[in-house]
Each structure stands twice: as C-alpha cells, then as structure tokens.
Structure 1
C-alpha cells in the first residue's frame, strides 16, 4: 500500500500505521514524522496484544478504525491498547464509537468490546481504551433500509478538569430545547456530569443519541472550545442530530463511511439507506473498490418516505474469509 499526500505525516498518523504494521507483521517504509510518502507491505495477520500511543490527543476512535478490520482476520483474539484523545475534534468521540458504531457494525458479525479506562482531551491526550476483538470466519451482509420511527433520545453532557459543572448543564439545556422544537412527544434524557478521576486534562462536550423502532442509531455531538459559549455547543450537537434524522435514512453522515469497508468485505449484498452521501463516503467507496474488487452502487431512494436527499448504498461484497478458521 502506498500513500502520497501533500500533508506531512503526523504523530497520530504514524501511530496508526505502526499499529497496523504490527498487527499484520508488515514492513513500513517512510514511517517517520514529516514524511509525505509511506509504503506498507503487509504480512500475516497476528493475534495478541498491540499498543498504539501517539503521545498527543490523536483520536483513539481513529486508531480503532484502522486496526479493527485487520484484527478480525487474525488467528485468535486480539487486545488493542489505544491511547490518545478519547474526545477529540475532527474525529468520532469514543462515546460515538461505543454507542453508535459498535452496535451497528455487530450486525456484520463483528464482536469486540471497549474498556474505557481514561478519557483524554486536547492538547495532551492521555486517554486509554482497551478493545478486545474476536476473529471472524467471514462477515455477513446487512440490510438497513427501514428506518421506522424515532423511539428514544438520550445523551451525555460533560465537563472535565478545571471547567465548571454549569457548562454541562447549559449545553444539555440548550440541546434539549432545540430538539423539542421538532420532536415534542419524546422524553429527552441527557445526563450531565463532571469528570474527575476518569479524565486526563480539561474539556467539555456533548453527544446526543437517537434510536429508532427498527434499531437504527444516530448521533449529534460537539466539543467545547476556548471562547465558545456552551449554548452554541449544545445547539450544534442538537442541530447535527436533527439534520441526520430528517432525511429518513438508517445511518447518520458519520457512520456512512465507517461501514463501507465492512460492506466490501462481507459475503453477499449489503444495502444501507442514508442521507446525502459525503465526500468521506465517496472516497471510502473508491478505495474499497480498488483494494477488494467489491462493487458499489449509489442510487436515490424512490419510496414514499424518501426525501430529495435520501439514497441507497448497495455493495456486492467479496466475502473475504479468515484462513485460520
């Protein structure tokens, strides 16, 4: 695998590459901070204990994204010790990974658990998650085309370190008010909390999750920043959630691209109903087709519940099998 990019290699990128290299007993060339060209030649996928630590607030969730598909085809269980930022900007919060990504990817036959041992925030990181992954013989296709009705809305609004608890309350209050403008008949249960012993550094944020009657899960989230009022953070998360349930799809805009590789690897035809197809998803489809020879099609949904921006992503997976089973 060769990757050339105008952006130089950063510590979190290098940590992910080294993690994958270790799992697949591969050879990594150009693996140094500042490099713009990297070559990874994979070998045999190896079970066991693997650790990744960028020593920054590099996203733990992104480290899991690159390592989980490899660990699934190992010759035994794997334990991934992932360190860095658990709630980082421009990446899925660990709460999203556990509450949204995990239950949906399990529909493919994936089995893993996440032990959240310490939360870490920008800029130092310091978070730690241990994921235990069970190997599979092959992945099953999924059919997620019936959204149903939204049946539950809940969330988590938090502050950590030296930040005052009032920020968590203000974020939750604003988010609840915004959601109630559109969804009036459901109780919205957003827990507010102040993290102390289980957090490294200071930070604040919110994640709001909606579940449907057919098992679809959506989320909206936001992190606080210096100079940004908590009302704005809560508003951003609520609007993100509402945007992702208005199109009557079955996955949100952030889960789309995370499922593409599993669709490509599965044995059979997978179909997922979604809202507007993101650039991340289009890129993931292109890369997956190049690497696996899987075939994707994206078409507009034409049923009575579809809006102008509702789509069906379909994939004929290649049915990769684990040679150790």
Structure 2
C-alpha cells in the first residue's frame, strides 16, 4: 500500500483526487495522511468526501476513514464498472472536481457511462463548467479520453443547487500530445454571467473588461441564468489555432465589478505576453492523461504548486518520467515520457 503525504507541495485536495484516480486505474491501494494540511481548514470537506465516495462506488472500492474533517484515509480499489451514476455533494462543493476524479477511470472503459453530479458548477478555486467543456475536454481528447457534458443548472457558492450531466467514454485510440506553440490568435469571446443579482453588476464587468483588453462590445456578452442563489462569474475564452484557454474570476461580497474584470484581464495579459501553448491551470490537468496514454510535451507558464504536486503523485503510481525545462522564450517545457 502506498503512503501519500497530503501536505506535500500545495497541500490541497488535488493530491487526494489524483491519488483516487490513479489508484482506480492501476489497482494500487493507498493511504493518505495530512489531507489538505496546507489549507486553513484541513481535512475532508463535502466535495472531497463526495469524490472519495464516487470513486469507491464506480470501482467497488473499500474505504476507511472517509468522514467530514478526516485528515487520513485508506483506499483499496476494486474493478471499475461503467454504468449510470448519480452523485449529490449536498452543498455548493465543486461538482466539476468530482467529475475530474472519476472521468479518466470511466473514460478508459469499453462501454460508456452516464453520470449526474449535483453541487456547485461555478466555484472559486475550481474549474468552471465552461472550462471543463471548452478547455479541459478538447485538450485531453487526443489522448483517447472522451466525454460530453451538459449543464442542467448553474450552481454558485454558497447556495449550490447546480447540476451537470456527463456521458463518459468509451475509450478511443490515443495520440502523443505535442503542444509547443499555440499558433495564431483566432478569437476572444467572454461572458459576464449572473444570477439573482442586479444586471448592472455584470454590465460593469463587461464594460471594464472590454476597455482593459481593447475588445469590441460583441466580444463580451451579458447573460442572466437561473440558480438557487446569487452568483456571478466573468470569463473569457482565448482561442488560438492549436490551443484554447479560459480565464475567469468570480464576483464576491465586497469586491467591485471593476476589480473582477481586472483579475481576468491580468490573467489574460500574462498568458498573451508569453508564447506558451498551455495556460497555468490546464498544465497540471494534462499531466495525468498524458502519463496514462502515450506521453508528450507542451510549453506552459511557470508551473503552479498544483502542477508540481500532481507530478509527485503521478510518479508514485506510474513508471513515467516528467521533467520541467526552460524554453528559449522564457516559458517552461514539460515532457512526459512513458
């Protein structure tokens, strides 16, 4: 049984989720200690507990210590079984992170699965539904992992109430990923999405982002959605010939619309000032599909703590070598050798 230190690197929930995914795919049991030790409130929250229970359900796994607030648990995987599954987090916990935990194991099966997840679909510090659908899935499809997503209801913190559906798999032939340049800029398209709030909040975000990035009015839309509670997210998709990324920020109490737009603009400007093909967040999410398929290489910005933590977990489960080097342009080149 592998022993994993949950305090390593960024010390967050990503270490647990990656371990669950790799455990199911390799049949390797593990014990994780110091779960989320790097967070202000360590231990399992509802979304982490939901990911553990979802993983155990799809593979018939045995879990010990899976309780709210737990800082250690044991996980012994069984056989992954494709089928119909429904997971309810019971809070505004990130449904998108639960999806990512079970996606690769189910996508590697010969028959498809249908999964419904209820919780938060637009959370701070988690990929949004749009990010999964427009950035993550297109990036991993060449590695043979497939899913189709449907957003049924928006769910914002703290009310939650969101719902997404996914048809996952079956597995497809894999290609080696070679993403060393992103090609020419094709489009920039953003949205200020809001629910149960004054439309002026989204309108001010859109106006400010348009000015900061020298966009046209048509390039940032305003959209009101239904949700169980108030919520707001501003995001923009940057599409190049060989790469797509989304940068976003959430509205929050005490944060002005203009401040939200500045947060988004700064992310975009940092990415556009580089020549990297892959943004900082999709970089850590690409590592596991590449390590499980045929490997590959991609350029990115300075790796986040999530990226380095993910590399450490992957190398514990799989006989792969993942290196980070510099490019002539000052970006980073990550190579996954299987």
Provide the TM-score with structure 2 as the length reference: 0.86
Following the alignment from structure 2 to structure 1, what is the Cα–Cα distance between the partners of residues 85 and 156?
A: 22
Alignment of 1:305-316 (within 5 A): 306=329, 308=330, 310-316=331-337
Alignment of 1:105-184 (within 5 A): 105-136=140-171, 139-161=174-196, 163-180=197-214
- Say if 1:273 and 1:42 are closer, same or farther in 2 by CA, change over 3 A: same
| Structure 2 counterpart of 1:229 | 256
Kept in 1: contact 2:33–2:73 (CA 8 A): yes
| Structure 2 counterpart of 1:190 | 220
Aligned match of 1:41 in 58, 76, 90? 76
Aligned match of 1:251 in 262, 266, 278? 278
Shift of 1:229: 0.8
Q: Is 1:281 matched up with 2:302?
A: no
Map Cα deviations across residues 188-226 of structure 1 (whole Å, 9 max, x no partner): 611101113xx22111111101011x2211221000001
Shift of 1:141: 2.0
- Say if 1:49 and 1:55 are closer, same or farther in 2 by CA, change over 3 A: same
Shift of 1:100: 1.2
Following the alignment from structure 2 to structure 1, what is the Cα–Cα distance between the partners of residues 313 and 173?
A: 20
Shift of 1:72: 1.7
Large movers: runs of 4+ above 4 Å: none
Following the alignment from structure 2 to structure 1, what is the Cα–Cα distance between the partners of residues 135 and 289?
A: 15
SS at match of 1:120: coil
Shift of 1:187: 8.0
SS at match of 2:280: coil
Shifted more, 13-22 versus 241-250: the winner is: 241-250
Following the alignment from structure 1 to structure 2, what is the Cα–Cα distance between the partners of residues 115 and 42?
A: 28
Following the alignment from structure 1 to structure 2, what is the Cα–Cα distance between the partners of residues 280 and 34?
A: 22
SS at match of 1:20: helix
Shift of 1:35: 1.3
Map Cα deviations across residues 106-138 of structure 1 (whole Å, 9 max, x no partner): 122222111110011111211000110012166
Following the alignment from structure 1 to structure 2, what is the Cα–Cα distance between the partners of residues 51 and 40?
A: 21
Following the alignment from structure 1 to structure 2, what is the Cα–Cα distance between the partners of residues 293 and 2?
A: 19
Kept in 1: contact 2:300–2:333 (CA 8 A): yes
SS at match of 1:273: strand
Unaligned runs of 5+ in 1: 318-325
SS at match of 2:158: coil
Kept in 2: contact 1:245–1:252 (CA 8 A): no
Following the alignment from structure 1 to structure 2, what is the Cα–Cα distance between the partners of residues 66 and 139?
A: 20
| Structure 1 counterpart of 2:12 | none
- Say if 1:83 and 1:23 are closer, same or farther in 2 by CA, change over 3 A: same
Following the alignment from structure 1 to structure 2, what is the Cα–Cα distance between the partners of residues 235 and 152?
A: 20
Following the alignment from structure 1 to structure 2, what is the Cα–Cα distance between the partners of residues 266 and 21?
A: 23
Following the alignment from structure 1 to structure 2, what is the Cα–Cα distance between the partners of residues 160 and 192?
A: 11
Q: CA RMSD in A?
A: 1.5
